[in-house]
Amino acid sequence: MSAYWLLALIPFLAGVAVTGQQGMVAVTERVVRRTARRVEGTVTGHLASREATYAALHPVVRWTGDDGVEHERAVPDTIGAHALPEGSRVRLLCVPGAPDSVTLDAPDRYRSAVVGAWAGVLLCAGTLTAVLIRIATLLPEGYGY
């Protein structure tokens, strides 16, 4: 065996990492969607931040909690400012007793996490298939039927 076999570890481990990370996001989204309360909020502005290498706008939303107290927070979702103009009404997911955990009620995060997890599984399966085919082509002629 040569050192080139170790190159197969790169896509396999990348697939494992993508599957694990996206799987955690999907499970977290599922739990939040089941336990959180849906509330209506109003976009009051946008907060600019620097995400990695690009600027992002986070909507600032005001809503009333379970206890009747009005909250206003920047939602950590990066939505285009044109998609949520000031004054627009949005649906939020708010975990009771934790107003800092508010997120926009958008099923897109769950769907993209599931697609990402499946992409990681396909990357792992594709790498294993390629390795098994390569091993099968290297077997001597005496093995087999």
Asked if residue 55 is part of any domain, the answer here is yes
In a domain, 145, yes or no: no
- Would you place residue 47 in the very low, low, confident or very high pLDDT band (cuts 50, 70, 90)? confident
User: Span 124-141, mean pLDDT?
Assistant: 86
d(CA 114, CA 121): 11
In a domain, 144, yes or no: no
Give the structural domain span for 52.
3-138
pTM of the prediction?
A: 0.70
User: Does residue 143 form part of some domain?
Assistant: no
pLDDT at position 40 over 70 = yes
Q: Which residues contact 128 (CB under 8 A, 6 or more apart)?
A: 12
- Rounded Cα–Cα distance for residues 85 and 31 (Å): 29
Q: What is the pLDDT of residue 5?
A: 74
pLDDT band at 79 (very low <50, low <70, confident <90, very high): low
Report the domain count for the chain.
1
Position 22 pLDDT exceeds 90: yes
